[in-house]
Structure 1
């Protein structure tokens, strides 16, 4: 059957899409992606044109799918290709539109190629053909899992790019103090002092699940989230309605921690959770307090993950300051198919050098970890 391209994920039954997902990661669920679209956070007007690729069998059963978007810019992706776009502009090569396979605004690794192998081979071939035919300059598959890495490595023309994030791993800690006991003395004292500084300002914390939050709470969450963009003179990616839709559709995956003083909220960190991982996504504050960011975004998450018996805490992209707080370097992967032969050759040479530098950096970064065995 012909390949179908969806401009609205809501036009596909959620059960069909979710049946292709290999694990419980919340960012790939129909509810999450459709909430982005239905709220207007992802829309052609903002440079994100949904173009989800589907392939069905003769019986109509959905065999494979790709969460995909035609992009008119490179914002909200977290695999930065601005240099490639600039080089194309100088050379008179069209770089936009391009096709992104990934999750908008979410630098979280996971499945990107959903479904059966044979059907995925056909879908990937269609993406490459679309590039060669000039529909888009290339295809970018961001934050892939091991399965996608193996498949794309075996396909002609795909270029691998590495990145580095910082994740915390739970080694069976009984509580936060048990975690601290495994750190070098100086680092342990630093973390304890940072937490005491926040508590000394009269700030306490409350965790709430998605079904516990009211619309007033979501107003505060969005105001905090938006403030992190406004201080940089930017418009926030997510609209207010996104949070209400997500709470309606997948409340069981939502966790929000509120920082409060005298019962009034000051700041928040918005997280999602699956079977074994806490994902820290958005943070914001409406009043500045010393060390509040570290406590709200990192230490509270560690506390929660330990208490819930979660294996991993992914607190988001970038941030070398996470290293000294126990977050370990983790290599991320993305794959890129570029139609223009000159651009492809130049990027291939660049990526070969960059991969070596990323691997070397990740190895060197381990020296900054606070654990006793790293001293």
Structure 2
């Protein structure tokens, strides 16, 4: 038995792919979401993402394990930053690209990466690593893994762990937003309430929609807001307009969009997906800016929604120390890296050994900045 490489998700059915996912899996590894990225041209060869999923079939031809993967000619859209590794390779005359990435394009969400039976996954990893050099690949990177997947990868020779830090909101049984605010210290509570009141005083209202409840004109507005966050920085958006239409067609039941309006006119939006027990905030944008609009649209509205829906967690995206004083707690993340060149592997291993305690210390220091009352 050997590793099969899929150059398109059209080579495997949604039922066969999704059958490897646990019932509680987050939405981003579903065949529907990944195929939207591919079919819309968002994660496609033209943008430097060549579909190269690794698949293991049993003796009877049944799919036993899958690792979603792309051959990359750059490091954009990954959110585990290896630019320094690539620069070091360039200076040393070592080819860093192309490389292999397992993860979800443009989506820094922790979730299932190693799909299937453990024995098949071990075989897939071992054989996949052995074929990297033959396939002209410098390395294999598996981003935002679950802790139990880290345990499996730690047992495989040559894989290096890297830690990161995000900020997630946890629902500690809050009855409503005011109950959440009551858990803050007095000063921080007043600050957050003042932000919300100042925005409300400008005539802004918020309207939550599910995927099937948005018209094509409203999807045009959602995309214009999303794209504007890139255009104002002189960058091209990662996602195409077609991606949003395909997603609304293929998984509308998971889409949650909040529209901000001033006197009936839409001015901003935040786009999320709702999984089992968690709201995943993904994209936001505005066409007219107001003080505190980002915090309200992307954070407070999501907290409100999570409490009302009884969700346990709200993952509002990567980075953002501003989330700390608004109740989002530091959460360590893991990624795993296999580097073929022995010198590069040794250098990166030494770097990660020094970086790891610094990331852990940062997360602990960040926890001290949370606004919650003690005791």
**What TM-score bracket applies, with the shorter chain setting the length?**
over 0.9
Unaligned stretches of 5+ in structure 2?
A: none
Is 1:308 equivalent to 2:309 in the alignment?
A: yes
Give TM-score scaled by structure 2 length: 0.98
| Separation in structure 1 between the aligned mates of residue 198 and residue 112 of structure 2, nearest angstrom | 40
- The one-character-per-residue Cα deviations of 1:265-289 (angstroms, maximum 9, x if unpaired) are 1000000011100000000000111
Unaligned stretches of 5+ in structure 1?
A: none
- Secondary structure (helix, strand or coil) at the match of 1:299 reads helix
Q: Report if the CA contact (8 A) 1:65-1:113 is conserved.
A: yes
Q: Report if the CA contact (8 A) 2:111-2:145 is conserved.
A: yes
Q: How does 1:18-57 map to 2 (within 5 A)?
A: 18-22=18-22, 23-57=24-58
- The one-character-per-residue Cα deviations of 1:212-265 (angstroms, maximum 9, x if unpaired) are 111111101110000000011000000000001011111111000000011111
Deviation of residue 39 (structure 1)? 0.3
Q: How does 1:26-175 map to 2 (within 5 A)?
A: 26-133=27-134, 135-175=136-176
- Secondary structure (helix, strand or coil) at the match of 1:142 reads strand
| Separation in structure 1 between the aligned mates of residue 131 and residue 186 of structure 2, nearest angstrom | 57
- Secondary structure (helix, strand or coil) at the match of 2:131 reads helix
For 1:318, the equivalent position in structure 2 comes to 319
Is 1:201 equivalent to 2:202 in the alignment?
A: yes
- Secondary structure (helix, strand or coil) at the match of 1:373 reads coil
Where in structure 1 do 4 or more consecutive aligned residues deviate above 3 Å? none
For 1:178, the equivalent position in structure 2 comes to 179
Is 1:348 equivalent to 2:349 in the alignment?
A: yes
- The one-character-per-residue Cα deviations of 1:287-340 (angstroms, maximum 9, x if unpaired) are 111110000000000000000000000000000000000000000000000011
For 1:271, the equivalent position in structure 2 comes to 272
| Separation in structure 2 between the aligned mates of residue 259 and residue 325 of structure 1, nearest angstrom | 20
Deviation of residue 130 (structure 1)? 2.4
Q: Report if the CA contact (8 A) 1:39-1:245 is conserved.
A: yes
For 1:213, the equivalent position in structure 2 comes to 214
Give TM-score scaled by structure 1 length: 0.98
Deviation of residue 134 (structure 1)? 5.5
| Separation in structure 2 between the aligned mates of residue 39 and residue 78 of structure 1, nearest angstrom | 21
Deviation of residue 146 (structure 1)? 1.6
- Secondary structure (helix, strand or coil) at the match of 2:353 reads helix
| Separation in structure 2 between the aligned mates of residue 13 and residue 270 of structure 1, nearest angstrom | 27
| Separation in structure 2 between the aligned mates of residue 154 and residue 133 of structure 1, nearest angstrom | 24
Deviation of residue 139 (structure 1)? 0.2
| Separation in structure 2 between the aligned mates of residue 45 and residue 200 of structure 1, nearest angstrom | 46
Q: Report if the CA contact (8 A) 2:3-2:128 is conserved.
A: no
| Separation in structure 2 between the aligned mates of residue 230 and residue 144 of structure 1, nearest angstrom | 31
For 1:228, the equivalent position in structure 2 comes to 229
| Separation in structure 2 between the aligned mates of residue 95 and residue 58 of structure 1, nearest angstrom | 35
Deviation of residue 135 (structure 1)? 2.0
Deviation of residue 147 (structure 1)? 2.0
| Separation in structure 1 between the aligned mates of residue 127 and residue 101 of structure 2, nearest angstrom | 14
| Separation in structure 1 between the aligned mates of residue 80 and residue 294 of structure 2, nearest angstrom | 24
- Provide the aligned length of Structure 1 versus Structure 2: 374
| Separation in structure 1 between the aligned mates of residue 165 and residue 43 of structure 2, nearest angstrom | 26
For 1:10, the equivalent position in structure 2 comes to 10
Supply the RMSD in Å over aligned alpha carbons. 0.9
Deviation of residue 108 (structure 1)? 0.2
Q: Report if the CA contact (8 A) 1:131-1:338 is conserved.
A: no
Q: Report if the CA contact (8 A) 2:195-2:292 is conserved.
A: yes
| Separation in structure 2 between the aligned mates of residue 9 and residue 275 of structure 1, nearest angstrom | 24
